[in-house]
Chains A and B, each alone.
Chain A
Amino acid sequence: MSEPVLEVRDLVVTRRAPGGAGRRGRSLHPVAGVSLALRAGDSVGLTGESGGGKSTLARAMAGLLAPTAGRVLVAGRELAQLRGRQLRCARRLVQMVFQDPSGSLDPRQTVEEALREALEAGRDGRRQPDDHERVLGLLDEVGLDGALAAAWPHEMSGGQRQRVAIARALAAQPAALVADEPTAALDLTSQARVLNVLLSARQRRGLALLLVSHAWPVVRRFCDRVAVMYLGLLVEVMPGGADTPPLHPYSRLLAAAVPSVAPLPTAPGPREPFPGRSGEPPSLLTRPPGCPFHPRCALAEASCRTELPDLAEVSAAHFLRCPPAARRAPRTF
């Protein structure tokens, strides 16, 4: 198998709890020991409820925040060991797209100016005479009309702005793209358009994609692999698509909560009971010992309350951090 273009090993990010002043403030672990590898052309969907640490993990993987422990490797080289030119080069290889494109687009820059700047940054500030052509090529790649090169961010719809943000990320010639909820603020038709752009970038450029989305069916149907995060930990990593059912009670809770048009109920109202308690999303501040999901879990056993289970392979490319669920699962190897 090829070497991962982006990998994290035993990554930990520690933060001070809000309000906890000085040295005595409590520590939180938005990322509490995560390992994940992306190879060229991979698409991994990272999902879970709000506050689970998805954005923190995504930012650490994009080199935008330094981990407290563990390693981030870009094309096999550890980010923390690199300096100067090599560090800049490694950073360029991993680009990030955010939920709110206005955060990454300067309101005083036209689309062309923003894309030129990104192109130049990719080659240490040098311009090239055919940069205008490249700008048009990038716009075409994200499905936007070349006429938009002269547009300002405020003149575009949210979906268009997001596609410009992706074009900007692609201008740097990355090997991996980390997209944090890129479609959360968009309607469903714009979402499909933005995801199509990510899909073709992956296919055409062999880009590795980490797509963060709280929407279970989005990651499930769009990505080749799905990683489910709960209070700083991956609780299940599984193949995408429809063939492999999720096994972790938390993944099943997420899947069951998705409103669906089919089959239609006879009257408006809830369809099936949740396999656990949905309740309010949990907080890192009150993370329990043992399996962090146990207070909401229908399968919880005594050991779940005290011991944190390992993320164990239950079938090919399917990892699960839940011994009771693993015991119930049909064995395929």
Chain B
Amino acid sequence: MSAAPLLAVEDLAVAFKGDGAPVQAVRGVSFALPRAGTLALVGESGGGKSVLALALLGLLPATATVSGRVLWEGTDLVALPERDRQRWRGCKLGLVLQDPLAALNPVLTVGDQVAEGLRYHRGLGRRAAREAAVSLLAEVRLPDAAARARDYPHRLSGGMRQRALLAAALACGPELLIADEPTASLDVTVQAEVLDLMAELVRARGMALLFVTHNLALVPRVAERAAVMFAGRLVEMGPARAVIEAPAHPFTRALLAALPERWPLHGRLPAADAPGPDPRRPPPGCPYVCRCPHARPACADESALGLALADDRRVACLPEVAGPLARGEVPA
């Protein structure tokens, strides 16, 4: 028997109760992340990326119903009591979110915030924790780390805050780092540096990474694999380079066409005007049918969808559409 992967998600679904029919934010998502594996979750706004990440963490509000399994080295986290889940989060997981100012405590110096994590998770004494915090801040290349450790978050620039947050996320020595749009609020010049830093730390420490973004251009910079999400479902998954070079799902192609670097010059930009499906009443079969230029009656038949282009490369589209698209041909 082969060893269980670090993280395996099986048929995960999340629905939110509210007035009327529940919002089906995540539907039937399955993927695995090996130890030290890096995966980017890509898709447009409202696609369910953050809800999926929160479901893995066990941080969804009480209005959410979760079904399916989240296996950590074979143990199902969904079934775990909250107390154990919390302990798991504390010692196995690092989290970096988009808005560093909201994630950092405004009344604690950045050094103390990082040190707090070290004392709690590694049981270090006050002094040792403070020293370890400074070296962590230096590891994330916060300029002049020893002095900056005594600053409050509002004194730091956006890029420095995101570095500090990364240091805090690393304090417990996590095995998995979840980064949800970590650079969306940063200047482009700083964005590239923070991404490269994150990729380097992930490699150096042998962590696994789940990187959430709406920008496909960021993906090859940090992740080996890409999973494309639309309306709560994974529509395409595979090695990041293969997905970008030979996109097989029509939605992946639309995401690529939306990259400014691929825009036509001075002309109309490729963007379908149709909104996504109503998350309370998703259509049967493929959710992309409302926008897809290749849609046909068979798309409504769930059992007709699905093509394995390689062992590690799957597409949730009709084989007669996705096959030609992956080869760069126009489907009949």
B160 close to chain A: CB less than 8 A: yes
Residues of A within 8 A of B256 (CB): 261
B120 close to chain A: CB less than 8 A: no
Decide: A188 near B199, CB < 8 A? Known: A193-B271, A221-B265: no
Q: Give CA–CA (A268, B264) in the complex, Å.
A: 27
B188 touches A193 (CB 8 A): no
Closest to B268 in A: A196
CB within 8 Å: A-B pair count: 139
Residues of A within 8 A of B259 (CB): 188, 261
B249 close to chain A: CB less than 8 A: no
B287 close to chain A: CB less than 8 A: no
B152 vs chain A, min Cβ distance (A)? 14
A214 close to chain B: CB less than 8 A: yes
Closest to A240 in B: B266
B219 vs chain A, min Cβ distance (A)? 8
Closest to B267 in A: A199
B195 vs chain A, min Cβ distance (A)? 7
Which of B55-63, B128-136, B209-217, B300-308 binds A? B209-217
A193 touches B196 (CB 8 A): no
A268 touches B222 (CB 8 A): yes
A186 close to chain B: CB less than 8 A: yes
Q: Give CA–CA (A280, B159) in the complex, Å.
A: 7
A195 touches B188 (CB 8 A): no
Q: Which of B265-281 contact A (CB under 8 A)?
A: 265-273, 275
A191 touches B258 (CB 8 A): yes
B271 touches A189 (CB 8 A): yes
Q: Give CA–CA (A216, B68) in the complex, Å.
A: 43
Q: Give CA–CA (A215, B300) in the complex, Å.
A: 39
A226 vs chain B, min Cβ distance (A)? 12
A280 touches B220 (CB 8 A): no
A281 touches B217 (CB 8 A): no
- Cβ contacts B24-57/A at 8 Å (1 or 0 each): 0000000000000010000011100000000000
Decide: A216 near B221, CB < 8 A? Known: A242-B265, A261-B256: no
B261 touches A260 (CB 8 A): yes
Residues of A within 8 A of B217 (CB): 258-261
Decide: A262 near B188, CB < 8 A? Known: A143-B273, A196-B269: no
B252 vs chain A, min Cβ distance (A)? 12
**What's the dominant secondary structure at chain A's contact region?**
loop
Q: Give CA–CA (A274, B218) in the complex, Å.
A: 17
A215 touches B188 (CB 8 A): yes
Residues of B within 8 A of A268 (CB): 38, 199, 220-224, 240
A259 touches B195 (CB 8 A): yes
Closest to A143 in B: B273
- Cβ contacts A263-289/B at 8 Å (1 or 0 each): 011001110001000101100000000
B216 touches A50 (CB 8 A): no
Contact among B160, B190, B192, B254 with A259 in the assembled complex (CB-CB below 8 Å): B192
Q: Which of B144-186 contact A (CB under 8 A)?
A: 157-160
Q: Give CA–CA (A49, B158) in the complex, Å.
A: 12
B188 touches A254 (CB 8 A): yes
Closest to A186 in B: B45
Q: Give CA–CA (A221, B270) in the complex, Å.
A: 13
B127 vs chain A, min Cβ distance (A)? 30
- Cβ contacts A213-252/B at 8 Å (1 or 0 each): 0111110111010000000000000001110000000000
Closest to B156 in A: A280
Q: What are 28 A-B pairs with beta-carbon distances under 8 A? A: A157-B45, A157-B275, A189-B44, A189-B255, A189-B258, A190-B44, A190-B45, A192-B271, A193-B269, A195-B269, A214-B187, A215-B188, A218-B260, A222-B266, A224-B266, A240-B266, A257-B191, A258-B188, A259-B191, A260-B217, A261-B256, A261-B261, A264-B220, A265-B220, A268-B224, A280-B190, A281-B159, A281-B187
List 14 additional A-B contacts (Cβ < 8 Å) besides A188-B216, A257-B189: A158-B45, A188-B215, A199-B268, A215-B188, A217-B260, A222-B260, A224-B266, A241-B266, A242-B265, A257-B188, A258-B192, A259-B195, A268-B38, A281-B187
Q: Which residues of B contact A (CB under 8 A)?
A: 38, 44-46, 143, 157-160, 187-193, 195-196, 199-200, 214-224, 240-241, 244-245, 254-256, 258-261, 263-273, 275
